[in-house]
Structure 1
Amino acid sequence: MLVIFAGIGVTRIRAGRLGQNGDPMKKKYIVAHDMGTSADKAILVDMTGIIIEQVKESYPLYHPEPDHAEQEPEDLWRAVCRTTRELLRKGKISADQVAGITFSSQTQSLIPVDSKGTPLRRSFNWLDGRSADIIREKLWTRPRIKGYHIFRLLKFLAVTGGAPGHTGKDQIGKILWYRRHEPDLFARTDRFLDAKDYILFRLTGQMVISSDLASIWWMLDTRKKPFRWHEGLTRMAGITPDLLPEVRESGAIVGPLTDAAADATGLKEGTPVINGAGDLSAAALGSGALEDGAFHVCIGTSGWVAGHVTRRKIDLPHYAGCIGSALPDRYYLAMAHQETAGICLEWLKNNILYHKDRLIKEARVEEIFQILDELAAASPPGAESLVFTPWMYGERCPVDDDHVRASLMNLGLNHRREHVVRAVFEGIAMNTRWAMETLEKLYKPVTRLNFIGGGAKSDIWCQILADVTDRIINRVADPEQAGARGVALLAAVTLGYIDSVEKIQDHIQIDRRFVPRAENRRLYDRLFREFKNVYRQNKRWYRRMNRRSSD
């Protein structure tokens, strides 16, 4: 295959199919990484989307102060290098058989680098909310509507289709905080990168961001193509566009793998590095919901409801709207993002239930999450009216409130471990339903949802989600790998192994359907009304309890 690296596009000669059905030593593969909040999950994928091997390596998330969340960029790089090498070893393939490498990644992870591309500090992770005060002070000043400066809001909406929220977790707020509190480092900053961008730089020497990821920095002009950084919006962050990476499409080849990166990863020098996408857009590809108006649900560390749409709309009070997709020539990505989903179950396991070794020994199972499934199944639907609200780190959609926190409501002496576990499962499903209904009001109701993410591996959670939302739940095969598989298939299109992006969904399988149970309809409708009332009746209390200095 001849590949010419030329700006955003790629010229290809369709010689790439050689060996796909012949000599196994000539068969080609994609290495795709899903760089999440807590780990890099790497997969080796053939050109039909079949996962041959997968490897995972964890890295830490630091919380040096309340509302601070940071990571070491070098930890991400080491994980990518080690998992890539391990994939080749486990898959028993040579570096020559890797046709390309690509990425799905956590988003809004801000990494300031100097002129040599060296990080100047730990990254501001997407969970970092330290800039909530300064974004109110500098950006969302009076006159306000729903907490937003009306004229600046209109400017953001006109240019980007969205706007930074109140929570302090968007890139503009982080840059403002960095400029004020670490001025010496700010003065040395040559470029601001996201997590994926930093890894792409280490692989190719190019500082590039995908357009879908750039769109949620809220400084990208998405009104016409090619998308460009908007000078007026960058000024609101106190920077100029030259401090931001070059914007290219998700399917673009960023460049060939450098000699140094080849040594570090075990791949061949010159291997094409395909841009990839943020986790939201990548997962939308891998969910198989590629038709206009089809939605999918993801429950991982965070969660969301999303779908490809042709018209850009927004519901700012509920922080739902459109971002860039991995297919910018065809679709926007309608998005209702939620801060904490599966991590609530992780918190319960680590901090409330007794030690996992004792739980595993007691239940005689291999995995801790099997026990949580069994406990949830042991409780009746509704957990005897115990309600969990999963807002453990503030929330974006459906309430856009950085003061709100999680709670277990209506706890009584009649409740046991199984009720608490089921309430957590159901509370996350209730929050998902609220997000789903927010998007449906913007577009149109759906009858089914494709389900991806680690939460989809749980049969009981799939059924709870079907019952709570009253929608058919289609569980995607290998649901945890949806993002990595999505960008791998997009890379296969770029490299000429798949005819078109429309063919991507042909390579994504549904492994089981879960149908809503009519006998639970009235119960869950009642609990959903009360779930929303928890927020509405306690909104002021949350603000008093979690007040910031600028409130």
Structure 2
Amino acid sequence: MQAIIGVDIGTTSTKVVLFDLKGTILTNQNNGYPLHQDQPSYAQEDPEQIFAAVVTGIKKVMQIAKQKSWKVLGVSFSAAMHSLILIDGQDKPLTQVITWADNRSEKQSAELRENGLAQALYFKTGTPNHPMTPLTKIMWFREERPQLFAKTAKFIGIKDYIFFKLFGAYVIDEGLASATGMFNIQTMAWDAQALAIAGITTNQLPKLVSTETQFSGMSATMAAQLNLDTDVPFIIGSSDGALANLGVGATNPGQLAVSIGTSGTVRLVVDHPVFDPAGKLFCYVLGKDQWLVGGPVNNGGIVLQWVQEQWFTKDRQSSYAELIKLAAKSVPGAHGLIFLPYLGGERAPIWDADARGSFVGLTRQHTQADMIRAVLEGIVLNLCEVTQMIERVAGPIANVKATGGFSQSAFWVQILADCFNQTVTVSKKSAGSALGAAIMGLHSLEIVPKLALNELASTDQQKWQANPKNAECYQDLMKLWAQISEILEPEYHKIADFQSRCFK
């Protein structure tokens, strides 16, 4: 049997999945590593631990493949966006992996916004101004750690580091490059203005390659560690968000991918770069002649986790299933209770690290069931607002493909279908970005034609239809929800300032 490996380098673990040529999972490995947040606004990881997770995962998957006599045709990669590692002249890391969740460069992000450079950069790079970007992180090092900055020979991401360890070359795919804030998606090259602002040169960045570029010929020692032959091709792939769309088959016009895990995102594939006039949507490269427009939110399932941890005593801790069952005792619209889910600041749609969560409309008549249902609805309505922004710049949504942990709850998926007033399809395949990487790898290897990609991803699915009565209720609620969000937005900085001054 022929097979391909998809590797998904995530924020807290690396998944290595072996697929057959129909997209069926044959075997998989998931190896985790800690996210270090021991200082305020910091979120870092050890690059060697991540590399070890990749090596261990591939090695174990290959052991099973050889036992079964499966022929592995290639290894293709996905990785989380916005990571940064500083490398010295001897190719040694000067820092840990600074992840997308690291907000230490908030001051630099504010400076770009205040001096008017943020918008100009956005319309070239497609990357919203935010501390998540490698651009602002590099600015932080230049201003706050000048000696470390001066020692840096290369500024790279985690997938770039993995490929250097495997093949001895610093390369970055155009998908991940387009999420750095320094790559011009109009010219498909590093942007001179962004690099000048960062204070670096093109030579300090990895070489740009297309998302389907193949690498082979690694050393015999490294191949032995991976349990692979030296001539097995490695396909560099793209970003996890882009490949998640490919993995669920959301690549045709109007097909929206919605994911709610710890955080959440909505993404739509387009055939040309699309920009939001307010700069609040990203536009990243998926692959050749394909771009991804959408928005990420900080507050997904982690808000439900907060409910579980804070609303119930440890000896009466409710499971997620019990919380959902309790929410089902309420009604659509939670008897008029509105929840803004900004417990962890927010990226899209408001891009404000000072954003704070709130219940609005609370009365003595509201029950615990109403409050939990309002939380579930608030998370979805937040994504719905981002989707409305996408529709304004990229056209109408025809259907929705749902992924992430929330898709295991039929009740929550139904809320999504009703709020979006769309048919929602959930794939029973849980490999997401790893499957997208495998599909891109198979296309690069010319094993499957482009027209077959959706067919490979779209099997084994379940559909939810919007309930017309509920959808009408949510359309009214969405208008009110958006108005309240807009009214409160200017107050978040005052609240955050008060909290920092009085409750350190």
Confirm or deny a common fold (TM above 0.5).
yes
Structure 1 pair 384/333, CA: closer, same or farther in 2 (3 Å)?
same
* Residue correspondence of structure 1 range 51-130 to structure 2 within 5 A: 51-89=25-63, 93=67, 97-130=71-104
State the alpha-carbon separation in 1 of the partners of residues 325 and 166 from structure 2.
Answer: 44
**Equivalent residue, structure 1, for 2:419:** 468
* Residue correspondence of structure 1 range 179-258 to structure 2 within 5 A: 179-224=142-187, 227-258=188-219
My pick for the range that moved more, 464-473 or 80-89, is 80-89
* Residue correspondence of structure 1 range 162-177 to structure 2 within 5 A: 162-165=126-129, 167-177=130-140
My pick for the range that moved more, 407-416 or 106-115, is 407-416
Q: Does 1:304 align with 2:236?
A: no
* CA deviations over 1:368-410 (Å, ceiling 9, x no partner): 4433433333333223333332223322222222221223334
State the alpha-carbon separation in 1 of the partners of residues 69 and 221 from structure 2.
Answer: 15
* Residue correspondence of structure 1 range 120-519 to structure 2 within 5 A: 120-137=94-111, 139-142=112-115, 148-149=116-117, 153-154=119-120, 156-157=122-123, 159-160=124-125, 162-165=126-129, 167-224=130-187, 227-317=188-278, 319-325=280-286, 327-328=287-288, 330-355=289-314, 359=317, 368-412=319-363, 414-478=365-429, 480-498=430-448, 500-508=449-457, 509=459, 511-519=461-469
* CA deviations over 1:159-208 (Å, ceiling 9, x no partner): 43x2441x322111100111222222222222111122222222222211
Structure 1 pair 170/316, CA: closer, same or farther in 2 (3 Å)?
farther
Are 1:80 and 1:265, in contact at CA under 8 Å, matched by a contact in 2?
A: no
1:276 alignment partner, SS class: strand
Q: Which of 474, 477, 482 is the equivalent residue of 1:527?
A: 477
Q: Aligned letter for 1:48?
A: K
State the alpha-carbon separation in 2 of the partners of residues 62 and 79 from structure 1.
Answer: 17
Q: Aligned letter for 2:80?
A: Q
Q: Aligned letter for 1:237?
A: A
Are 1:301 and 1:341, in contact at CA under 8 Å, matched by a contact in 2?
A: yes
My pick for the range that moved more, 344-353 or 109-118, is 344-353
Q: Aligned letter for 1:140?
A: R
Structure 1 pair 345/196, CA: closer, same or farther in 2 (3 Å)?
farther
Q: Deviation at 1:156?
A: 4.8
Q: Deviation at 1:290?
A: 1.8
Q: Deviation at 1:218?
A: 2.1
My pick for the range that moved more, 122-131 or 408-417, is 408-417
Are 2:100 and 2:132, in contact at CA under 8 Å, matched by a contact in 1?
A: yes
Identity among equivalent positions (%) equals 29
Aligned residues: 498
Are 1:111 and 1:123, in contact at CA under 8 Å, matched by a contact in 2?
A: yes
Q: Deviation at 1:531?
A: 2.0
State the alpha-carbon separation in 1 of the partners of residues 164 and 309 from structure 2.
Answer: 36
* CA deviations over 1:21-74 (Å, ceiling 9, x no partner): xxxxxx222121222222222211112211112332222222223322222212
Are 1:88 and 1:94, in contact at CA under 8 Å, matched by a contact in 2?
A: no
Q: Does 1:32 align with 2:6?
A: yes
State the alpha-carbon separation in 1 of the partners of residues 484 and 358 from structure 2.
Answer: 9
Are 2:7 and 2:17, in contact at CA under 8 Å, matched by a contact in 1?
A: yes
Are 1:71 and 1:123, in contact at CA under 8 Å, matched by a contact in 2?
A: yes
Structure 1 pair 534/516, CA: closer, same or farther in 2 (3 Å)?
same
State the alpha-carbon separation in 2 of the partners of residues 409 and 249 from structure 1.
Answer: 48
Q: Deviation at 1:248?
A: 1.0
State the alpha-carbon separation in 1 of the partners of residues 370 and 153 from structure 2.
Answer: 52
State the alpha-carbon separation in 1 of the partners of residues 12 and 382 from structure 2.
Answer: 23
* CA deviations over 1:400-439 (Å, ceiling 9, x no partner): 2222122333445555554343222211110111111111
Gaps of 5+ in 1: 1-26, 143-147, 361-367
Structure 1 pair 216/455, CA: closer, same or farther in 2 (3 Å)?
same
Structure 1 pair 318/244, CA: closer, same or farther in 2 (3 Å)?
closer
Q: Aligned letter for 1:215?
A: S
State the alpha-carbon separation in 2 of the partners of residues 69 and 423 from structure 1.
Answer: 30
Structure 1 pair 518/106, CA: closer, same or farther in 2 (3 Å)?
same
State the alpha-carbon separation in 2 of the partners of residues 386 and 254 from structure 1.
Answer: 54
My pick for the range that moved more, 411-420 or 488-497, is 411-420
* CA deviations over 1:250-288 (Å, ceiling 9, x no partner): 111133443343343333333221101111111121121
State the alpha-carbon separation in 2 of the partners of residues 87 and 169 from structure 1.
Answer: 33
Are 1:345 and 1:424, in contact at CA under 8 Å, matched by a contact in 2?
A: yes
Are 1:208 and 1:254, in contact at CA under 8 Å, matched by a contact in 2?
A: no
Q: Aligned letter for 1:334?
A: V
State the alpha-carbon separation in 2 of the partners of residues 89 and 416 from structure 1.
Answer: 54
Gaps of 5+ in 2: none
State the alpha-carbon separation in 2 of the partners of residues 430 and 371 from structure 1.
Answer: 22
Q: Aligned letter for 2:456?
A: H
Q: Deviation at 1:502?
A: 2.2
Are 1:131 and 1:177, in contact at CA under 8 Å, matched by a contact in 2?
A: yes
State the alpha-carbon separation in 2 of the partners of residues 122 and 298 from structure 1.
Answer: 28
State the alpha-carbon separation in 1 of the partners of residues 160 and 140 from structure 2.
Answer: 21
**Equivalent residue, structure 2, for 1:542:** 492
Q: Aligned letter for 1:82?
A: T
Q: TM-score, normalised by structure 2?
A: 0.91
My pick for the range that moved more, 238-247 or 59-68, is 59-68
Structure 1 pair 495/419, CA: closer, same or farther in 2 (3 Å)?
same
Q: Deviation at 1:339?
A: 2.6
* CA deviations over 1:82-127 (Å, ceiling 9, x no partner): 3223334556647973222122111001111223432212222101
* CA deviations over 1:339-365 (Å, ceiling 9, x no partner): 33233233333454444x8547xxxxx
Structure 1 pair 56/424, CA: closer, same or farther in 2 (3 Å)?
farther
State the alpha-carbon separation in 2 of the partners of residues 95 and 111 from structure 1.
Answer: 38
Q: Aligned letter for 1:441?
A: R
